[in-house]
Structure 1
């Protein structure tokens, strides 16, 4: 039988390993790509980020996800639109009679999946508690055309704004009581870029948005005030906080500090906020990053609604 000293030593080692794992869990990578082990300059808490190889065709976003994801297989509802593209609409919680519910669209990163977004943000559980409906966008080949980045969708000029307009219309047909004054967006990295691009293109459809590790990579059309919160790591080496050319993404990013002024010129009256954290290209969940992106995002979104019911027709190509 093992000695008492050996038993105590084994227990001590197990405890140290458990504490180390907890400490490393403070910032979660969701990467442009899905390799959680490859080291990248600027990545924090031991979680690496790597971009997909240009031209690669990843596995189906409907099935890919992190091993052991808490909601793997628990969020049914993949929907095919008339145009052939898909999105995910989990079954909403029952609504009170006559209640008007906000809608939140969640957009994955370049190379990411909707399941990874759900795993990190736990959007569905929060939506149930807060009385929201949540839907998850699926970018073509895991990418979004944010008018300057990234991947297949940008190279092939995918009509992703129109796709999001179609998703909103389809959700409103399927789920009664969606409040047209409170339709929101959130996303990570390329999904954050797409969030900001969609806000700039459809400010009378989307009431507000929250982006993590994003950037404005195209021109903001504006025409009405937008409401946007950017959460960004000052050590981000994938979408640098201070801006610059990133050859592997074939994109040039402006400094995050310029975002407020750039949008104000195109969309006077806009509210643009920036929250920083000391980590890299990650979706922060607390710990060493010192903030929880999902919690901050929900609180920001709830402050905004369109000033009156949206008058636009909810179909592609309309709704400015």
Structure 2
């Protein structure tokens, strides 16, 4: 399995497996979404129950309190736009009061969940080994409102941009994380949401890494520069790289092509260079430099890769829906290495 060598200062990153790009009102073939945790809003609790570990109102007094948090895997909720929104969280055991850790937000695909993404990607193992915090939020109806897609979240115009911004603010206020090292990644519908958030709340993230998803808003209007690494298979039957509706897609959406996605991104981020392309085995990496704030944008195309998270471990029952994960690239490690290099 390949590990990307960073081209023109760009490194590949890691992210978790996620399920199908979108869904209408169809039943899910994926793992069921986790039940809403029975803890107070804004209060993570250890998986399996226990006393909430985070101060539910860290700004309640004028005297700063020491941070209180659990290491390992916990779950929590916050309220946003009248809805209780849930998330899974992993804090590495080396985290302490004086830590200054990176925060990664990882978005599942349509029909997926935060738990499913965490478990199939093994992202938490890497977070423990490398020392970063990772959050896996849950979408409404197991979907994200990424613009033109997907499912219930898009149909009812759920404010997922606002939810993710509120979640990042909450985690930054209650955990020992570095606000300058907040990153976002996602797969499929979660990749589309990653694109949207980076375009519309660019001031909140340093880099973005969408995998197997497109930019489904017509105009990207960032306030600041964001480094981009996006990964797509050239044989994706759920979300064709050339755009349109895939032969395996159940969303009913005609997707934007990756060529058009990169045009929208590089226009929005005012990239000035002629793109350079490097081919290494099955990987073709095209990089634009001279983007806003000195950032870069890279598209990695994997020859022969279908829709699943590259290098991921996928339940056999889902391969009929997405195909078999490509082993040409360990996308999880690639995404993290990209983030780490920022």
Q: TM-score, normalised by structure 2?
A: 0.67
Aligned residues: 251
**Higher RCO (CA < 8 A, seq sep 6+):** 2
1:32 is aligned to: 20
Closer, same or farther: CA 303–29 of 1 in aligned 2, 3 Å: closer
Matched, 1:275 2:300: yes
Is contact 2:239-2:245 (8 Å) kept?
A: no
**How many angstroms apart in 1 are the aligned matches of 2:255 and 2:25?**
21
Shift of 1:60: 5.0
2:66 is aligned to: none
Once the two structures are superposed, the pairs formed by residues 1-320 of structure 1 within 5 Å of their partners are: 30-32=18-20, 52=23, 54-56=24-26, 60-62=32-34, 76-83=73-80, 84-95=84-95, 98-175=98-175, 177-218=176-217, 219-245=219-245, 248-268=250-270, 269=291, 270-277=295-302, 278-285=304-311, 288-304=326-342
Is contact 1:120-1:283 (8 Å) kept?
A: no
Shift of 1:101: 0.6
**How large is the RMSD of aligned CA atoms in angstroms?**
2.6
Is contact 1:223-1:266 (8 Å) kept?
A: no
Is contact 1:196-1:228 (8 Å) kept?
A: no
Shift of 1:76: 4.2
Q: Which runs of 5+ in 1 are unaligned?
A: 1-27, 34-50, 65-71, 305-320
Shift of 1:62: 1.0
Deviations 1:140-198 (A, max 9, x none): 010000011000000000000110011112212321x2101010111110001001110
Q: TM-score, normalised by structure 1?
A: 0.71
Query: Equivalent residue of 2:117, what SS?
Result: helix
**How many angstroms apart in 2 are the aligned matches of 1:291 and 1:222?**
30
Closer, same or farther: CA 301–79 of 1 in aligned 2, 3 Å: same
Q: Is the helix fraction higher in 1 or 2?
A: 1
Deviations 1:17-72 (A, max 9, x none): xxxxxxxxxxx974318xxxxxxxxxxxxxxxxx64x22465851169xxxxxxx9
Closer, same or farther: CA 97–173 of 1 in aligned 2, 3 Å: closer
Higher-Rg member (1/2):
1
